[in-house]
Amino acid sequence: MMNVYGYIRVSSRDQNEGRQRLAFQKLAIPAKNIFMDKQSGKDFDRPAYKRMVRRMKQGDLLYIKSIDRLGRNYEEILEQWRILTKENGIDIVVLDMPLLDTRRGKDLMGTFLSDIVLQVLSFVAENERTNIRQRQAEGIAAAKAKGVKFGRPALPYPDNFQEIHRDWRRKKITLCQAADACGMPVGTFYGKARKLEKST
């Protein structure tokens, strides 16, 4: 008997998976057959996905909302598709792209067309991620050019820093003692000391 599954992936802990879950509820997929991972596509160590693949058997049906849920890049999407459909004998339906439905066109022409569509969509998905990263980098560069500061502001030097620094350089106290006296980690003290020395 065929079992129906749904797979959800959201790329961060705070991203809402509601859109994907709602689509699966409309298809009446049993809750126990909906698997979800909340982690970045870039590391792809997805425990729920792996559990789902182990549970599925030949003839089962998998729904995904969009093609990029299957992988982090063009090659990985194609590889996961090949494993699921060709090796495991599982049908896949991509809800955002009705052409990608392996239940239809089981003949040579249907498989050929499905493979072409898959390759084009996988390329487009990866290209869009690349474009997003490029736009983010360009935005950050433009903001920096305008003087926008990123990250936490640097902590000010404590009032006793120069005195402590001088004692440390004269070897009256150790690096650890100097850092403790300034109330900061050793690495922070050393970094600030180097910065002070370069500015004088």
Taking each helix axis as running N to C, give the angle between helix 186-199 and helix 161-169, from 0 to 180 degrees, rounded to the nearest 10: 90
Say whether 11 is catalytic: yes
Residues ≥6 apart with Cβ < 8 Å to 158? 164, 182, 183, 184
Cα–Cα distance between 92 and 5 in angstroms, integer? 10
* 46 burial via Cβ count (<10 Å: 0-12, 13-18, 19+): buried
Query: Counting every residue, how long is the chain?
Result: 200
Bridge-based pairing state of the strands 61-64 and 34-38: unpaired
Q: Could you give the residue numbers annotated as active site?
A: 11
